[in-house]
Amino acid sequence: MDKVIDTGTRDLLKGQNMWPKKKTAFLIIHGIGEQNPFETLDAFVRGFYKVLEKNNNGKNIDIKHCIKPRTGDNNVEWVENFISLVKEGRTECSIDFYEYYWAHRMEGEITFQELVDWLIKTSDGAKKFYHENAQIVKEYEGKKDDAFKAGEFKNYWYLKHLGWFLRLLLALPHIVVKVIPIIPYLGSILEFLRPVIKVLFSKVTKTFVEYMGDVAIYTTTDVKSKHYNIRKLILYDSFKQVETLTKDKDIENIIIVGHSLGSVIAYDTINRINYLINSINEETDKEAIIMDLANKIKGFITFGSPLDKTAFFFRERTSKEQYVRRQILSHFHSFKIRDLDLSSYFCLDEFKPPFTVKKLCKAIKNDNYKISLQSVKNTITWLNELLKEPKFYSILREKKPDIGFTKKVIDLVDKTDGYRNDKEFSELEIQEQIYIKRLNRLILEETYPEKAPKILEEIVCNPIKPRLDSNITWINFWDEKDPVSGNLDFYVVDNIPLVMGKKYGIAHNAYWKYEGMYADICKHFLT
């Protein structure tokens, strides 16, 4: 039996009117594995219906299979199947459930060898990323006692050893060939067991490819890869599915739901919509459709989501020297993202003789700015916390009114004038946070030129504004026994931890039957 905990919302459902005031559509996007059409739709509808049935105040709720004619690209006509929940006395405000099915796109597209090669490349890239951006480890890793909580599956130790393990796996057949002649009777034993070993290996590799292969294919961002077009097609189909719902005049609110890798597809779809909103011309015919996309999407639900790990492992890597390209790529993933810009942070690699962390910290403390910081003094973390102080420029000016700054600093002072002294760092927009960090870093460089190393890159202004951030409510469910999911640290999201009482690993697919999750969804979007 599941162990149920109160997340602060379950009891609130009792006695509430659990039904939307407007016609609402849920779009469910499934995760990895051998999925069949309508399986995830079936699971989500049944879980949802069970909660509604218990809290409908005696009103009958009917489950209806519905079909609608649709017109796709090039005027191709097709029929869409969906489920509609209709409540007695509220027929004008049904709750509709749609499914975006993409598993068939992945069938037979990647081999076991290709998958292992991809994993080695990914682990090596992620390990390098951690080495170059140690501040991430300082800020987000090791902050909880349990290493598996908050998605700390992505820690450096894991990355360090994954690459070596996979290389050993690939080398194993060659090692066996070398060892057979040395050990008596080993060759005969292996020959006898060959059929059994072949069957077992085939099943293991097939399962491995079925699940991890989906991740390898979809997260491919290299346009030169043979898998890139598959990812492109999946994302295009997902966008068109949302667009189709948007064009449906009966539907007023759209909630996008993603499980596992489906949450990544959903997130990328929302990012694409945000990108299009930023690029529209008021005179184009597409303006109305795109603005409907912006206005109708009201919610985003993720569970079993690897979005934090995706940000670490699978986003395209760039060298430090390619800071322009890196910032351009980061701009495409801007929906509700926290500040991932690390260019202004200090890192240990910068403090080469004659620069030391201790000397810079000492000089700052000697000037006594009276700024209260939580981090340990004389550390990189302490310096980087100081960079997040919006009022630092004003405080420094009071202490050093005669100091002169370069045009770079003055320009940033002007840009930040409207919020620098009025808001805390956490209250600022992402671009505003980036400007504050950059301003404070340059201030330190120019105030302490002999002690502070100089920043190596410039800010490339992000033209993509977070147009959807305020419109869409995002909730994320995760269980500490689910190795794929975690608390999404790098996104502005309402993280809801669950304790479903399942064994480690099994929890990843347990969300579909967990009533507490559906109760929370109803609380956020129906009450």
Terminal alpha carbon distance of the chain: 28
Burial of 75 (0-12, 13-18, 19+ CB in 10 A): exposed
- Position 94: which residue type? S
Which residues sit opposite 256 in a β-bridge? 27, 300
- The stretches in the chain having pLDDT less than 50 are 1-10, 12, 141-156
CA distance 150 to 508: 15
Burial of 355 (0-12, 13-18, 19+ CB in 10 A): middle
Q: Are 291 and 274 in contact (CB under 8 A)?
A: no
454: which 2 tokens? 């100089």
Q: Taking the model in full, what pTM does it have?
A: 0.77
Reduced to 3 states (helix: H, G, I; strand: E, B; else coil), residue 254 is strand
- Find the DSSP H helices in 81-218: 112-132, 134-140, 156-179, 186-218
pLDDT digits (tens, 9 = 90+) for 354-413: 999 999 999 999 999 999 998 888 888 899 999 999 999 999 999 999 999 999 999 999
Q: What integer pLDDT is reported at residue 320 of this predicted model?
A: 63
Q: What integer pLDDT is reported at residue 191 of this predicted model?
A: 64
CA distance 214 to 218: 6
Q: What integer pLDDT is reported at residue 382 of this predicted model?
A: 92
Q: What integer pLDDT is reported at residue 520 of this predicted model?
A: 94
pLDDT digits (tens, 9 = 90+) for 66-121: 999 888 777 788 889 999 999 887 878 899 999 999 999 988 778 877 877 777 77
Per-residue DSSP letter, 70: E
**Residue written as token pair 């105040």:** 57
Q: Please compute, for residue 180, the number of CA atoms within 13 A of its CA located in the half-sphere on the CB side.
A: 11
Q: Are 438 and 412 in contact (CB under 8 A)?
A: yes
